[in-house]
Structure 1
């Protein structure tokens, strides 16, 4: 009976655990901007709407939508508050990421935050990924780490961010670091300028339980809403004196002990996949593991 009651409580209250405080809040160091101050439509303009400073994009059977920063960056802090759609969203990906795919087709770098859609009763998966010189033809060596969240991302806006500088990449959720990817070699770290993108699109072939569940357009439109955009970066071609915001009170790289404790708590309780721990992977291709 005790086990049954515990399972019932987990089902009734799957969110709401108190994450340890990181003690440092890098989002507070970067001012928010409106969508039109830093971005433009990239594709699917008929599936994109700006209301004051928020942006809504949606996917239906005819098209998805995407947006892009006005210029490229060589480092910085890039964030947005995002609210996801509830209900059946299998096969749908809502994203916020860095890429130079248009400038370097067949040889581009990327740093991803992707929300993988789900079926009712199951949580969203937040996928983080890093790759460099990817071709898009099946030879991409992904470095995926996936998480569930300690809250319901469909009920309110939450802040998601990527901090990228020459020594590390840190992924944040509400200022809590969930993953740190340090630069261990030039071959395993993206160093070339990238633009900031966001999109909503159909990835039925793999997004939800490895493609088990597909996008079902009887539930269309699928909607993602963004606001509180932050572009705290050093622009490509900008002043040489520019320094990207730090992700830590310690200086240009690394995390404080309090931040590491918060990240460890997230990874212990909410990490659901780590490419370095996947025995099916060829780890000679990912020497940083």
Structure 2
């Protein structure tokens, strides 16, 4: 039912804020740039290696991680645990054959609640040379890693080639909403509609590269092919503007919008609508194969 309300609102925005760009150009300006409110940090200022140290290198604050047939890849983790905040990084992806490989930046409390954790994901799903990368956003609430996860996926292709240069990707998470940004353009907003459908427990910030051949590319049709190794992910321009679990109760995270602590401006909604209209390729609430009694927010 929420979807039926949402779509006409976005259609109205298309008329009120028409884009001067076509689908081959960039999105209309969001008019607000939350990343400018958060200082950049080097990798070692906010993160540490979690696994695969032999497949991870740091150079002047920038991070490179890679996957090859000798390992399961590499991962990193924030120094602190957060209860809200703005979390971002610039990422450059590998061109060519990368099917089956996931490069990610995400929030999770899996180490604190194994089998019953929350997660907010930005995942780049590897691809074949003739097809674009897919950026998957996802939200888990008290899920597990044993096949019982109830995913809330929204997937996009991008309006640029993410292998040509670094682009900024970010998650804003506060007690009322989750907003995903690409180069400061909001691409998805997930509001808190109930405690049961929103992650509220503190989380760490992670990133990784790993082999997910069973599902990553066209539902597992194409697997990781180690003739094309190493598979490399590059990160820099890390940004963390958040409230840790040790922060004062008065701590407030960076706002994602000029309109206040929750929601987006009309200009931001218009930019998000443009992205979803032209580049969204999957939305879990629209998937007729899904059991939507498990996702009541739809």
TM bracket (short chain): over 0.9
Deviations 1:95-140 (A, max 9, x none): 0000000111111000000000000020000000001111111111
Counterparts in 2 of 1:1-289, with a 5 A limit? 17-63=25-71, 64-289=73-298
Provide the rounded CA distance (Å) in 2 between the counterparts of 1:156 and 1:32: 18
Q: Which runs of 5+ in 2 are unaligned?
A: 1-22
C-alpha displacement at 1:240, in angstroms? 1.2
2:24 & 2:170 partners in 1: Cα distance?
A: 21
SS of the aligned residue for 2:276 comes to helix
Q: How many residues were matched structurally? A: 276
The two structures have a TM-score, normalised by structure 2, of 0.92
Instruction: Name the stretch that deviates more: 231-240 or 68-77.
Output: 231-240
When the two structures are superposed, what TM-score results if normalisation uses the length of structure 1? 0.94
Structure 1 unaligned regions, length at least 5: 1-14
Return the offset for 1:16: 5.2
Cα root mean square deviation, aligned: 1.0
**Deviation per residue, 1:153-187 (Å, 9 max, x gap):** 00000000000000000000000000000000000
Deviations 1:24-46 (A, max 9, x none): 00000000000000000000000
How far, CA to CA, are the matches of 1:142 and 1:59 in structure 2?
A: 25
Q: Which contiguous aligned blocks of 4+ residues in structure 1 show a shift greater than 6 angstroms?
A: none
Q: String of CA shifts for 1:51-108, please: whole Å, max 9, x gaps.
A: 1011000000122000000010000000000000000000000000000001111110
Q: Secondary structure at the match of 2:294?
A: coil
